Structure 1
């Protein structure tokens, strides 16, 4: 049962990794580790929201999290040649 469910290196679409400063379920180091392993993603971004927990989307700084997600989805990224 020690096998990972998926291999992050096989993900080949743009990825946003959103972390919260006070998240004890998925610490920033874990989010960063995932980010580094996304080697096939054509575009990736790692963002940490301050003063938030794993439930950031329901907390005081949720607007910042929503803005990050909306901004990422609205970006036009030109693929590298």
Structure 2
């Protein structure tokens, strides 16, 4: 960082469990989307609103991709238990 501290993943809240981590990722996308909606309600500047809408659409897509990955993890877990 600007203070010369090397990058570390220590502050990132991951549990090492793919199901938990993907749920946290999905929650983060929802929080960001809510923030964009809140900011849209605070302005009447069309250019800012358009940027925030674009960013919000990306959050929706990210949420969907994380959801798809979560389903893949569930499918993989189920396939390991087939006898």
- The structure carrying a bigger strand percent of its residues is 1
TM-score by length of 1: 0.30
TM-score by length of 2: 0.30
Q: Which of the two has higher C-alpha Rg?
A: 2
